[in-house]
Amino acid sequence: MPRKNSKKRKRDIHDELPKSKRKRKVGFIAPGGDFTSVGERECKEQVSQLWKEIQRRLRARDENTRKKTISRSDLRDYEDKTGHIARQVNASEKQCEKTEKEISKMLMEQKKLASQQKKMKDEYKREFDSLNAEITQMRKADKKSQNMISYTHYQQTQQQQPPHVKNPKYDPSKLPNHLKPCLVILKKIRKHSNGWVFEKPVDLLRYKDYLEVVSRPMCLQKVEENLYTGVYSSIQMFGKDVKQIFINAKSYNPSTNQVHQWAAEQEAIFDAMFKHATQGRKPKEDLQTTLSREELRALQERIQDLLPVQLQQVSELVRKHQEQSNSDELQLDLDSLPVPVLRQLQKLVRKPKHARRNQRQRIKRQLEDLKHSKTPASFGLPPPPS
């Protein structure tokens, strides 16, 4: 019986040999039964590759020939365009170089101008600082001379009054209700054991450098005079002047001085009394309080000294409340005006700028006369101590 072929192929001895020693394939059998050797097949493949290379080279030659057959007019146009572009590029480069030179030149000029401007600014600043320093010194000297004249005059008037005699003008019953707490505070400060230190103005002949440190002298006698003459329209103005007394004392005297310590003690007492007096009252509430007779009289005097421009402002302010005649003269009835209008008039006529300027000029003239004259001045300065 024939032996059945097993499904699994048996191993052949040729399978164990390396590929180099195995038998090479010598040919192929086509589907039709034709036999083709390996060499013939390789020759056919080489022929097909050569044919493809020939076709590629023919296509490249045709392409090169097509490119070379461009007309001369196209070449001329191309050359003209390229030449025009090249000329434009050259012109642009020259323009750029010229612009760069101009920019560099302008930058140099700008640096020079900046340095000159800085020098001029520094010079102007130095001149301005020097002028400002001179003006400040003149203002300090003016303020000092003004304080000296007014303070010396006030001292002389106080010395002329007999001691321990109360001024008849100081009537507490004439004070408005909102200023009566000021009188109580003033009495308590005077009754204090150290209150006598701040009672009278400082003796300028004894303390000659006082006005160099203190720009606004103040004492209790001056506060009392301002209180009764209608200078204070509110309790806050009174408190400002009283605080100024203690500030001056602490500024002029060192902290180890007894007067400095007394001033600090009195200031603490005054702050407590002033806080209690102004508790629940705002500064604007004083605008609704009526004016005293002294305040009305002072207001009437100040209105009479106003310039025409300021009188026009006063007329516009009271026109709504009082009818004015067609004459040029201003007619005012202060008693019939409401309290807020009177307070506005007080603000309008209080310390005008032209008055301060005229006062400074008058003081300068008096000082110049004092320097050039051999006799004592007419405004009543005492002769220097011998």
Contact between 201 and 210 (Cβ < 8 Å): no
pTM over 0.75: no
What is the SS3 assignment for 35? strand
- State the Cα–Cα distance between residues 303 and 310, nearest whole angstrom: 9
Least confident of 65-74, 208-217, 225-234, 374-383: 374-383
What pLDDT score does 371 carry?
74
- State the Cα–Cα distance between residues 329 and 308, nearest whole angstrom: 11
What pLDDT score does 358 carry?
65
pLDDT in tens, 14-68: 555 565 555 555 565 656 666 667 777 788 888 889 999 999 999 988 888 777 7
**Span(s) in the chain for CATH 1.20.920.10:** 166-283
Has residue 142 got a pLDDT over 80?
Answer: no
Least confident of 72-76, 173-177, 178-182, 249-253: 72-76
Fold exhibited by the domain 166-283? Histone Acetyltransferase; Chain A (1.20.920)
Has residue 92 got a pLDDT over 60?
Answer: yes
What pLDDT score does 54 carry?
92
Please report, for residues 72, 73, 85, 87, 349, the alpha-carbon distance to residue 81 in angstroms, rounded to integers and kept in the order given.
14, 12, 6, 10, 88
Has residue 376 got a pLDDT over 50?
Answer: no
Mean pLDDT of the chain: 76
Residue 64, token pair as written in the block: 């090169």
- Those residues whose C-beta lies under 8 Å from the C-beta of residue 223, and which sit 6 or more positions away, are 186, 238, 241, 242, 245
What is the SS3 assignment for 294? helix
Q: DSSP letter for 179, please.
A: G
Q: DSSP letter for 26, please.
A: -
Give CA 312 to chain center in angstroms. 36
Residue 239, token pair as written in the block: 């408190």
